[in-house]
Chain A
Amino acid sequence: MTVDVHRHLNQRPPFLFVDSATIESSSSIVTTVCFNSDAEFFKGHFPGDPVVPGVLLIEAMAQSARLLVNYGHGTPVKGYLVGIEVAKFNSIVRPGMTLNVRTALVADYSQIKQFSSGCFHGRTRCARARLSLQLVA
């Protein structure tokens, strides 16, 4: 099922990195992410040789996880990225590359939810991480 990203995420451009999303089940989501070449951060990372910062791939994965949570609640829920585990950056991501971000809920402790997420360009995995979100009641 396709999801209205703007309805279920509070982030807005230029800090909204999820372009579209498909809910696969109550515990998994696939999003598409593409960092446009005119993004401001490319001016500094790196001048004349733009590369998507790894930490922004983490943020894109966190937004995907939050989108899955918010979709389940029906509206955006206040919450924070509180944990990152075994995040690996496997290959360079350039501006304009469309990534598929596959994210699955792997543990649910009510207010703390853990996700496994990976960014793929075609069949190449560019990054992966295990993330924890804390929801605020």
Chain B
Amino acid sequence: MNTRLEELVDALTQKPPFRYLDRAFEIPGSPGTLGGIAAFDGRADRYQPSDGLPFPFVVECLAQLSSVFLRNMNERASGGLLVSIDSGREYSFARLPASICLRISLRQMMPPFFIFDGAAECDGRIIGEATITVRANVEHES
């Protein structure tokens, strides 16, 4: 367990009920990559009418993990603001409640912009992928 990453997850500007990232961890042998776990409780009042996880929430999880990545890379970074979803694909539906395994890789740095490739898995299958652009060192994260 990486205590620093745990602290960075706790320090995310997003707070419950809109913070979905529960854990972040480094992936051995994969520099520039970060893994994460997000849990969705499936509360009906939040995700009606379907019991499936809406794809935009998968993208939000990847954005939250990218904020942790930026803070871990640069202690002075205050996180990141999601400025674009360059592409996103949903391959299958995560049934709720669900635990989502996340992975992001830094594709390109053009400070203050950082482009990440991300993927999400549930029950051993990839449910979606996205390429997102995050602007670092701003007031808010998204």
Q: Is A11 touching B82 in the complex (CB atoms < 8 A)? A: no
Q: Is A54 touching B86 in the complex (CB atoms < 8 A)? A: no
Interface size on A, residues (CB 8 A): 34
- Decide yes or no whether B119 CB sits under 8 A from chain A: no
Q: CB within 8 A of A15: which of B46, B87, B89?
A: B46
Best-surrounded residue of A13, A14, A86, A89 (most CB of chain B within 10 A): A89
Q: Is the interface of A mostly helix, strand, loop or mixed?
A: mixed
Q: Mark B43-78, 1 if CB is under 8 A from A, else 0.
A: 001111110001111011001000000000000000
- Decide yes or no whether B16 CB sits under 8 A from chain A: yes
Residues of A within 8 A of B15 (CB): 43-47
Q: CB within 8 A of B60: which of A47, A53, A89?
A: A53
Q: Is A87 touching B84 in the complex (CB atoms < 8 A)? A: yes
A-B pairs with beta carbons under 8 A, tally:
100
- Decide yes or no whether A84 CB sits under 8 A from chain B: yes
Q: Is A15 touching B60 in the complex (CB atoms < 8 A)? A: no
B104 to chain A, nearest CB (A): 16
Looking at A25-33, A55-63, A67-75, A117-125, the stretch in contact with chain B turns out to be A55-63
- Decide yes or no whether A51 CB sits under 8 A from chain B: yes
Q: Is B45 touching A14 in the complex (CB atoms < 8 A)? A: yes
> Who on chain A is nearest to B58 by CB?
A55
Residues of A within 8 A of B49 (CB): 10-12, 15
Q: CB within 8 A of B59: which of A46, A58, A80?
A: A58
Residues of A within 8 A of B86 (CB): 85-87
Provide the bound-state CA to CA distance between A45 and B93, in Å: 25
B63 to chain A, nearest CB (A): 8
Sample of 9 A–B contacts (CB below 8 Å): A40-B17, A43-B18, A45-B142, A46-B140, A54-B82, A55-B56, A55-B59, A59-B54, A83-B88
